[in-house]
Amino acid sequence: MSGKRMRNLFKSDISFPEWALVLPIMLVILSRFIFFSVLEPDAETVKSSRSVPLYSQDAISGQVRHSIDIIKGIPQDSHVLILVNYGPEARFELEPALSLLITHLAQKNVSISFVSMAPTGIESSFLASERAIEQGNIGKDNFLYNRNYTHLGYAVGDSIASYMVANDFSDFAERDIFNASTKKQLAMEKIDDLSDYSMIFEFSSRTFDGVPAIVALSFFSSSPIKKTAFCTTDIVPAYIPFNGIYLDGFIGGYKSISQFKNQIRPSEFESNSDKIFRWSLIYILVLVLVSSLTSFVRGRK
């Protein structure tokens, strides 16, 4: 086959499909940037959402924004306590939000102490931490057990467990889940009492003796620590009466948790998978353009 026929075959069979790929690839790249940008509300929307009453149809947006403001106000290099009281039944609903929160705290060098009042919460804590490392941009070397986070174990006894954490915290926190002393753990540095934490969170799919664990903790503790709860849809009614009284922030159910994720992620987080996806598409687009231009030049010759 002559060189001229080879060039004609190359132009007719390969160049067109390559050019046909350019438009959809460009649309995919642009759609990701457009999608993330439209999720960020404008200032006027945020301002008006804060004045919406709790029980109105749009109240959840105001609650989410208020909770995000509280979370962003956590001081750099401080410590937070996270109660993880859910298991596999609520992993799909709560784990993504917990992972994003962990990533946000790790980026501010905030140390995390986990406590579980439900046995299944122990595994949930470590799974969410692993997810934050894998999908976030904090890096495995920047989020280490003992240095950046620790797990203080399983507090047994429902409301009794809340009392123990609130009033006997120094004894409870003396050893971690692996029965190792916490005295030399950097994650527990300068933590002698519950009041040494700048924030307490709860991620929960259940109540204890009919009361949310974080609310019971407020009953038994006189420390003026800000408290924010994340809960599954089915127990939202158990939390609502305490919001604004014992809770400073509240995010409950699929809708508000989704809003939390969509509000947090675009402005502050870009996962490794997002980076790989974007640069892979850009790389493919460059290859297609170079190949098509090369084919065009050769055909002209």
pLDDT in tens, the chain (301 residues): 455 544 454 444 444 455 555 556 666 556 555 544 444 444 444 344 433 333 333 445 788 889 999 999 999 999 999 999 999 999 999 999 999 999 999 989 999 999 999 999 999 999 999 998 887 667 677 789 999 999 999 988 777 888 888 888 888 899 999 999 998 899 998 898 888 999 999 999 999 888 999 998 888 877 788 999 999 999 999 999 998 888 999 999 888 998 898 877 644 444 445 555 566 667 777 777 777 787 777 766 5
For residues 161 and 109, membership in a common domain is answered with yes
Query: What's the pLDDT at 19?
Result: 52
> For residue 259, what are its two tokens?
């809003």
How many angstroms separate the CA atoms of 178 and 150, rounded?
A: 10
For residues 286 and 218, membership in a common domain is answered with no
Give the strand pairing for 199-204 and 149-154: unpaired
Number of domains in the chain: 2
For residues 185 and 282, membership in a common domain is answered with no
For residues 210 and 242, membership in a common domain is answered with yes
Query: What's the pLDDT at 262?
Result: 82
CATH number of residue 89's parent domain: 3.40.50
SS3 130: helix
- The Cβ-side half-sphere exposure at 78, using a 13 Å CA radius, reads 17
For residues 118 and 77, membership in a common domain is answered with yes
For residues 206 and 253, membership in a common domain is answered with yes
Distances (CA, A) of 233 to 35, 107, 146, 172, 204: 26, 29, 33, 31, 10
> For residue 35, what are its two tokens?
């999608």
Q: How many Cβ atoms sit within 10 Å of the Cβ of residue 78?
A: 16
For residues 164 and 122, membership in a common domain is answered with yes
List own/partner pairs for 263-268 with CB under 8 A and 24 or more apart. Answer: 263/39, 263/40, 263/41, 263/64, 263/65, 263/68, 264/68, 264/100, 264/104, 265/36, 265/100, 266/36, 266/37, 266/39, 266/40, 267/40, 268/104, 268/107
For residues 148 and 22, membership in a common domain is answered with no
Enter the pTM of the model.
0.69
Structural domain that includes position 28: 3-38+273-300
Q: What letter represents residue 166's amino acid?
A: A
> For residue 278, what are its two tokens?
């974007």
Query: What's the pLDDT at 48?
Result: 43
For residues 63 and 21, membership in a common domain is answered with no
Query: What's the pLDDT at 192?
Result: 87
Query: What's the pLDDT at 23?
Result: 59
At residue 136, φ and ψ (nearest 5 deg) are -90, -170
For residues 179 and 251, membership in a common domain is answered with yes
For residues 100 and 197, membership in a common domain is answered with yes
Contact predicate 74/105, CB 8 Å: yes
Q: What letter represents residue 167's amino acid?
A: N
For residues 75 and 108, membership in a common domain is answered with yes
Residue-wise burial string across 14-26, b where 16 or more C-beta atoms lie within 10 A, e elsewhere: ebeebeebeeeee
Judged on CB neighbours under 10 Å (0-12, 13-18, 19+), 129 is buried
